[in-house]
Structure 1
């Protein structure tokens, strides 16, 4: 596995994309609407920053923003096989958020590990 991206919860993805674009020289690589979110990926050259702006008050990102405020939401690791990565995590006693891979941004399969089992970090596996 390798680092893929960090997910950042925000209430204003466009403004944060402008700021990070200027500060980090990180151009927008991809933008889409998925699962009630405006999702923007900024290219760092060796990974991405994923900006997650909710379009309504439903789902985990608005809840996260209400509870924690804006900031880093998750760390994503690229794997060639999300299902195998989930099985490995399960074998190590890690609690899974997703029992099976599901569609994510950019058309990739994804799955999350529960932060209670991973040192307080929400970990996402992304199949690239």
Structure 2
């Protein structure tokens, strides 16, 4: 499988503004983008740390995936995302190896990336995302 690096770590937060302020003032990181992904009912903020990003995720609706996550588990690490090449083929490959998919087909995510999630029941409890820059 062609995983090139950890693309980002997604962290669910209740208040994006407060979390951005914390990451900037306490950790000295700089938020370089804030974006809403309407179909996922989420607002995101990104920080670059070496080759890896930190993605803060705030729900825009209590019934969205982040809203439900926070309701059930509280704030914290939501997912880990790996940068891949050949996303569609990678989904077929892991599915053929018995991995349960959340997304059978790639979809658009934040920063214009094509994304797909693997079900945490197949990945030792870790919601895993594959990300690919569109060609």
TM-score bin (small chain): over 0.9
**Paired residues of 1:6 and 1:75 also in contact (CA < 8 A):** yes
Distance, in Å, in 2 between the alignment partners of 1:5 and 1:24 is: 17
Distance, in Å, in 2 between the alignment partners of 1:74 and 1:115 is: 9
Residue 22 (structure 1) aligns with: 25
1:58-77 matched pairs, under 5 angstroms: 58-77=63-82
Please state how far the C-alpha of 1:7 moved relative to its aligned partner: 0.5
Distance, in Å, in 1 between the alignment partners of 2:95 and 2:54 is: 27
TM-score when scaled to structure 1?
Answer: 0.94
Residue 48 (structure 1) aligns with: 53
Distance, in Å, in 2 between the alignment partners of 1:33 and 1:52 is: 10
Q: Deviation above 3 Å: which 4+ runs of structure 1?
A: none
Residue 88 (structure 1) aligns with: 93
Distance, in Å, in 1 between the alignment partners of 2:60 and 2:103 is: 23
- Secondary structure at the aligned position of 1:24 is classed as coil
Unaligned runs of 5+ residues in structure 2 are none
- Secondary structure at the aligned position of 1:112 is classed as strand
Unaligned runs of 5+ residues in structure 1 are none
Q: Deviations over 1:39-94 (max 9, x none)?
A: 10111122111011012212111011000000000000001221121112112110
**Paired residues of 1:21 and 1:42 also in contact (CA < 8 A):** no
Alignment root-mean-square deviation, CA: 1.1
Aligned length in residues: 128
2:122 is the alignment partner of 1:117: yes
TM-score when scaled to structure 2?
Answer: 0.89
